[in-house]
Amino acid sequence: MAKTKTAYVCTECGADYSKWQGQCTACQAWNTVSEVRGVSASKSGARGARFEGFAGSLSEIQSLDDVSLAEQPRISTGMQEFDRVLGGGLVEGSAVLMGGHPGAGKSTLLLQAVCHLAASVSALYVTGEESLQQVAMRAKRLGLPTKDLKMLSETSVERLMQVAESEKPRILVVDSIQVMHMADIESAPGSVSQVRESAAYLTRFAKQTGTILFLVGHVTKDGSLAGPKVLEHMIDCSILLEGSSDSRYRTLRGIKNRFGAVNELGVFAMLEQGLKEVKNPSAIFLNRGEEAAPGSVVMVVWEGTRPMLVEIQALVDMAQGGYPRRVAVGLDQNRLAMLLAVLHRHGGMHVSDQDVFVNVVGGVKVAETSADLALLAAIVSSFRDRALPQDLVIFGEVGLSGEIRPVPSGQERIYEAAKHGFTRALVPKANAPRKDIEGMKVIPVTKLSDALSALEDL
């Protein structure tokens, strides 16, 4: 007879402890260790048999040179932006975790994809949060083909596995992993142990049967995926659907991908017919006014495997209180403070008594350092109340000593700007193309002081 086992697990990294403690020694997080109750097998080896073959079918030891390097076949979702984030399409036996805030469109996007895929491959959509009638009403409202898609309303992993073994679907969608539960785990659905064990069981099934598994996950207040950190280590691909409630655009970003590039970005527009892919994201993020305004400049960021043009805006105004404010939306606030110090030291511009607000238009989040030079150019433009030319594009990393450092794929960024009608580019000297680009004047710079002088001459 099985007996109950109590353990203390960190909700951030999944580390186990024999007793409760305030700080997790593995990830250094505070107040993340919570009590979980599970079941320990009465026979030795029972638990090991349950998880054997987690990485796929069991095989004998072999030389690395003998491993087959045949290309994994891909299954297209019917959406180029979705395929781009997945690395080119779906791979058999892969486990994909999709996260996002409530209302972002996770269920809508997956429903659209599997409804079209069901016409060519067998698909099973398992809903644990919504009734079958709610899903059917959404599919009818979106005008989706529903004849071939099989539906199941279930929260028990054991019952789900019985149906999956009987139906043998090639694509399995579980919405969501937080409501699934296993009978031999005593904790409530959504707890660390339930999410971990349920995800492990489903992932093992996908690996051994070649089923494409989609898991829908909730996110916390700070935007990270809810549940134990080990959940992201189990799956092959982790994608995040982002978008503010006041914007109709949604961005699908790859966080982890064993079959493609990470940080790949797909853009969708939320319409009455569901999520529609935006094949040219630069066009929607460059919807600028006819007249040039101070503090506005266009930069080229690199998202995954493609360049994308976005507009960055800055507002510099006299501080009204005792402490000047530094607010960054879509950019790292700590990097903004650092760049302001570099601007003062090597650019001779004193803004310590000014409020500085910066924003990336369209809700895009820029994490790479190629936005440094464009950010400082927008701040200088707003501070001097002088608009920059609308045909100017800027990118480059700014170092602490005031040097302008090159960024990856610099020439591809310039070509992308030229395709959108830009005629001037302020870039690091190392990124300047060797051959002239027709219709594009490239201004190479090596120091921040040189860049500020070039902006004065424009």
Q: What is d(CA 211, CA 184) in angstroms, rounded to the nearest whole number?
A: 25
Residue stretches of the annotated binding site for ATP: 100-107
Residues near 234 by Cβ (< 8 Å), separated by ≥ 6?
95, 199, 200, 203
SS3 162: helix
Among the listed residues 36, 88, 96, 51, the one whose alpha carbon sits nearest the alpha carbon of residue 232: 96
**Measured between alpha carbons, how far is 387 from 407 in angstroms, rounded to an integer?**
26
CA angle 255, 96, 188 (to 5 degrees): 100
| One-letter identity of residue 255 | I
Which residues make up each annotated binding site?
Answer: 100-107
Question: CA distances (Å), 14 to each of 99, 157, 297, 345, in order?
Answer: 19, 21, 44, 45
Dihedral angle over CA of 335, 338, 339, 340, nearest 10: 120
Distance CA 414, CA 394 (A): 9
Please state, in angstroms and rounded to a whole number, the distance separating the CA atoms of residues 411 and 417. Answer: 10
Q: Where are the beta strands (DSSP E) in 292-445?
A: 296-303, 306-318, 326-329, 354-360, 392-394, 397-398, 404-405, 424-428, 441-445
Cα(295)–Cα(378) distance, integer angstroms:
4
Residue count of the chain: 458
How far apart CA 227 and CA 192 sit, in angstroms, is 6
* Radius of gyration of the chain measured on its C-alpha atoms: 26
Give CA–CA dist 118/53, Å, rounded. 28
Two structure tokens written together for 423: 């005629």
376 neighbors 309 (Cβ within 8 angstroms): no
If you search the block for the tokens 């903004």, which residue do you land on?
Answer: 336
